[in-house]
Amino acid sequence: MSSSHVARHLEEVRQRIAKAAADASRDASSVTLLAVSKTFPAEDVRAAFNAGQRAFGENYVQEAVAKIAGLADLRSEIEWHFIGPLQSNKTKVVSENFDWVHSVDRLKIAERLNEQRPDGSPRLNVCLQINVSGEDSKSGIAPDDALALAHQIAALPRLHLRGLMAIPEPAATLDEQRAPHRRLREIMDTLRADGLELDTLSMGMSADIEAAILEGATMVRIGTAIFGARDYSH
């Protein structure tokens, strides 16, 4: 996609965020836009960067690490977020290359990220991925397990537990979209009431930004609406 398209789409997404925030009587600055660049080349990330975007999300470790290396000149200004499923054998490269991981769903993965975080790096920001749709096939932990796991992860010194992430099932209406987002916010409220200091609700994608912001999202993860439809054939 041409850089002017990326810039225009980015501006449209910012407008959607501003409108949804206004509808929710929230300050638009309370919602961080994470641009999900998976499957798109480094040039598209650079175009978004030149249009003012600073936080980027990636799902596939190998693709992401190559892209991060290709954009090394921007490394100190870009925040890289890992948002995809994470296997044990990939934790080291993720812990060494990313600033955030949104998809932590097991203590073992968190412990490895903690052990493998390089000396001298700031703490790795992490979110617990919660399965709010209740489907067996989706990743994420059951809501009932969130509190215990959150306390265990909060104790790991090289991680900074920031909050919760979810990928709700697609739904047609605004009300249907809001329900799982509300569920995630309620789980976060429960964890905070139990003494955990959390500030991040990572929810909302291209199709349900508005529902997520109405329910309190602080970080929306947007791919298609910025970069276009993904092509997985390569």
Ligand X SMILES: *Cc1c(COP(=O)(O)O)cnc(C)c1O
| Residue ranges that bind ligand X, judged by CB under 6 A | 36, 38, 59, 83-84, 167, 205-207, 221-225
- Taking each helix axis from N to C end, the angle separating 42-50 and 61-70, rounded to the nearest 10 degrees, works out to 60
User: Which residue, 161 or 222, is less far from ligand X as judged by CB?
Assistant: 222
Residue 216: C-alpha distances to residues 4, 176, 206 (Å): 31, 16, 16
- Nearest approach, Cβ of 77 to ligand X (angstroms)? 22
The CA distance from 100 to 123, in Å, is: 9
Nearer to ligand X, 121 or 224 (CB): 224
The DSSP symbol for 72 reads G
CB of 134 to ligand X, least distance (A): 18
Q: Name the residue nearer to ligand X (CB basis): 63 or 158.
A: 63
From CA 68, how far away is CA 70, in angstroms rounded? 5
User: How far is 200 from 217, CA to CA, in rounded Å?
Assistant: 8
Task: Pick between residue 147 and residue 205 the one whose CB is nearest to ligand X.
Answer: 205
CA pair distance 160, 92, nearest whole angstrom:
17
The minimum distance between CB 96 and ligand X, in angstroms, equals 21
CB of 157 to ligand X, least distance (A): 27
* Rounded least distance, CB 16 to ligand X, Å: 12
Q: Write out the DSSP string of 124-176.
A: EEEEEEB--S--TTS-SB-GGGHHHHHHHHHT-TTEEEEEEE--PPP-SSHHH
**What residue is closest to ligand X based on CB?**
223
What's the closest the beta carbon of residue 205 comes to ligand X, in angstroms? 4
Closer by beta carbon to ligand X, 34 or else 150: 34
The answer to whether 46 and 75 have CB atoms below 8 angstroms apart is: no
**Residue among 71 and 167 whose Cβ is closer to ligand X:** 167
